[in-house]
Chain A
Amino acid sequence: MKTLDIMKRAGRNLRQAKGRTILTSLAIAIGAFTLTLSLAIGEGARQYADELLKSNIDPQTVFVVKDESLVGGGGGAPGLSSNLREYGSSTTQFGGATFKALNADDIKTIQNAPGVESVTPTYLVNAQYLQVEGVDKKFTTDITVYDSTVKAEAAAGSLPDLGQQIADDEIVMPEAFVEVLKPGAKASDFVGKTITLRLVRLTEQPSDAEIEAAFASGGQQSVQELFEQEARDETFRIRAVSAQSSTSFSASNGLFISVNKARELSEFLTADTDQYQKYVSAVVKVKEGEDPKVTADYLNGRQMAARTAKDLQGLIFTIVGILQGIVAGFGALALIASVFGIINTQYISVLERTSQIGLMKALGMPRKGVAKLFRYEAAWIGLIGGLIGSLTAFILGLLLNPFITETLELGDNTILIFVWWQIALLLLGLIAVAIVAGWLPARKAAKLDPIEALRTE
């Protein structure tokens, strides 16, 4: 008997028991649905992460920190490890947490590392408040260095070409600020206006002895002077308003100032404290054509933790992989359950059709042919279930994608991406699973004694 004929007959046999076929394949469909979604989520997340990294990080960049825990290496995942750290003069405060910081020597080491073109430490510039020309209220925000390695889009004004810094008296403001500063205003309204930052130098709290000494020498007046902090106003002209982007972190929050200005202000703020010229991290630009990995390896061997853009990508992909694995695990469980469903259904089918099997054998169908017939029926169940599950997942994905994108504010990115060859492979896998499940019932059918099967009494 030809394979095609057996397949056709298998298909017809299933059609004759539509309800049972559909119910059995639904079990597989649930597995297929979950697996298809997990594949789509994985693909979408990977592409999104890729897009995210591409628009935020120059591949020639190496991130350097002193504290291993900041990059998730060595001391385990951040947040899980103990937050209690030994205090030392080389630690720095950032966001309430204490980290080991890079010092001037470290920066020098980095500058001398192979392939390094430039080093930009992350300057911490904390303004007490800021004021925008034409707006009465005072605001606070983050202030960071303008990243010249990534080209951002401007909503108004113009941004310098890739690799070019903004001038020292210029500032770039994110589009998100416009609504807050002046509801109803346009981005272009702010270009050319000035922003004034109020900077207050960090001083250590005077000790009780110092306060007493001051009081003794100059009374109330002297004590007040002791607490008075040195302050400074810095005025910038708004060069551009950066456009909101779903993939670019840098464009969405905080003001941008030039590297030189950032260094100057940071040094002003930390002068005479133990945080002077201490940095949480540094961004190293590696020369074009040089392998950032080499630079990173060099620095890793010198009591620093360096990560290339690729390492960060790997870190994100690992997380995506784990999430995907969890979803896929549920799919696999559903599949295992469906295997027993298929075995059961096919056993019943064999029992129901003993006379049919007996007849086929009497007509000269060999054992192998009978076994094939039942295996192909199982394969059909696998294919039907797979198609139902994958199609449902696909349609659901198409319907949900705009909603997810809107809710998570992903812009042009979709989080569920269906790749046809992945689904095709999944279907093949499901057919294989179904055939394996149909093996025992098929064997039972093949072994059936035709004389017994055809007995009418």
Chain B
Amino acid sequence: MIEIRNVTKTYGKKKNTFTALDDISIEIPDGASVAIVGKSGSGKSTLMHVMSGLDRPETGEVVVDGENILALKAKQVDAFRSEKMSFIFQSFFVQGNESCYNNVSLPLEIAGVPLKNRRKKIERALADVELGEKIKSRAKDLSGGQKQRLAIARAIVTNPKILFADEPTGNLDSVTGDAIEKLLFDYNRKQKTTLIIVTHDIDIAKKCDMVIHIKDGKVASVTGDKR
């Protein structure tokens, strides 16, 4: 469960302040698939950053699994993120010169998983995204869709409780994008992982359990909250 209570985030100083998030409160149940939609500059990305502890709002609370991450020190937030969260980005951010194996290994290394336990997890994650054959290939030799699948493998290898996806299909053609979507929703259903997608794409939003519309830093509407 992610609870956001009265969060306000502003950028800039004094006269030039810009309010990215304006007194937002949301609750996201465990295992839900959630779309955060809104125009660019509406604050949807900032909301994601706040939820993941990458960004610190001035006021409010962000409670993840009963823990107010704003009260934690930077180091503890890092450890928390490493343990419970994962990310997928529009531009993949895979390390082109590293092999698929080493790309997927990175979050395990950061989490301090011992070397001997890594290989199995990496192989399984790559198999889950159908890249089992490419384990030794370098990431830059993959196609766009394969790169995003690799990014998904990297995201799921640590068995995260929350998976953030920032425009995951934004750089892909519709066929490949659909495949990536399917992969994410399947994973969300099977593993009961909370999936939070930041997107422009209404089609993706429609497939989610819950859609949060953000407009000018405020929650315009929350639909599909099934509880």
A residues lining the B interface (CB < 8 Å): 1-2, 5-6, 9, 12, 16, 355-356, 358-367, 369, 450-451, 454, 456-457
Contacts and interface: CB of A to CB of B under 8 A. Distances in A.
A1 B93 contact: no
A445 to B, nearest CB: 15
B93 A5 contact: no
A363 B78 CA distance: 8
Contact of B79 (A361, A364, A367, A454): A364
Contacts of B107: 363-364
Most chain B C-beta atoms within 10 Å of own C-beta, residue among A6, A359, A367: A359
B110 A364 contact: yes
Given A363-B87, A450-B54, A9 B111 contact: no
Interface stretch (B57-65, B94-102, B122-130): B94-102
Contacts of B40: 457
Given A2-B112, A362-B54, A364-B83, A356 B78 contact: no
A363 B106 contact: yes
17 contacts: A5-B115, A6-B109, A9-B109, A12-B98, A16-B98, A356-B93, A362-B52, A362-B54, A362-B87, A363-B107, A364-B110, A365-B82, A366-B78, A451-B54, A454-B93, A456-B91, A456-B167
Contacts of A367: 74
B90 interface: yes
B160 to A, nearest CB: 10
B55 to A, nearest CB: 6
Contacts of B74: 366-367
A37 to B, nearest CB: 36
B110 A365 contact: yes
B89 A454 contact: yes
B49 interface: yes
Nearest to B167: A456
B93 A359 contact: yes
A457 B82 CA distance: 25
Given A12-B102, A364-B107, A367-B74, 20 more contacts: A1-B109, A5-B109, A6-B109, A9-B106, A12-B97, A355-B93, A356-B95, A359-B89, A362-B52, A363-B81, A364-B79, A364-B80, A364-B81, A364-B110, A366-B74, A366-B79, A451-B54, A454-B93, A456-B90, A457-B40
A20 to B, nearest CB: 13
A1 B114 CA distance: 10
B75 interface: yes
B42 interface: no
B194 interface: no
B148 interface: no
Contacts of A456: 89-91, 167
Contacts of A359: 87, 89, 93
A2 B110 CA distance: 8
B86 interface: yes
A277 B138 CA distance: 91
A12 B99 CA distance: 10
A16 B96 CA distance: 10
A364 B80 CA distance: 7
A323 to B, nearest CB: 47
A8 B79 CA distance: 21
Nearest to A453: B93
Nearest to A369: B110
8 nearest interchain CB pairs?
Answer: A364-B82, A16-B97, A364-B81, A5-B109, A366-B78, A359-B93, A364-B78, A365-B110
Given A355-B93, A456-B91, A363 B82 contact: yes
A366 B75 contact: yes
Contacts of B111: 364
B91 A360 contact: no
B110 A1 contact: yes
A3 B167 CA distance: 34
Given A355-B93, A456-B90, A360 B54 contact: no
Contacts of B98: 12, 16
A293 B144 CA distance: 83
A365 B112 CA distance: 10
A362 B79 CA distance: 11
B64 to A, nearest CB: 13
A399 B2 CA distance: 71
Contact of B49 (A9, A451, A457): A451
Most chain B C-beta atoms within 10 Å of own C-beta, residue among A364, A365, A369: A364
A1 B97 CA distance: 21
Contacts of B91: 355, 456
A359 B49 CA distance: 13
Contacts of B106: 9, 360, 363
Contacts of B89: 359, 454, 456
A5 B107 CA distance: 11
Interface string B23-60: 00000000000000000100000000100101100000
A363 B113 CA distance: 14
B155 to A, nearest CB: 9
Contacts of A355: 91, 93
A451 B55 contact: yes
A5 B86 CA distance: 20
A299 to B, nearest CB: 72
A356 B92 CA distance: 11
Nearest to B108: A5
Contacts of B97: 12, 16
Contacts of B95: 356
Contacts of B49: 451
Most chain A C-beta atoms within 10 Å of own C-beta, residue among B52, B55, B87, B90: B87
Contacts of B115: 5
Given A1-B109, A1-B112, A2-B112, A365 B102 contact: no
A12 B91 CA distance: 22
A6 B106 CA distance: 10
A1 B89 CA distance: 23
Nearest to B79: A364
A5 B55 CA distance: 27
A16 B115 CA distance: 23
A1 B108 CA distance: 9
A5 B85 CA distance: 21
B6 to A, nearest CB: 21
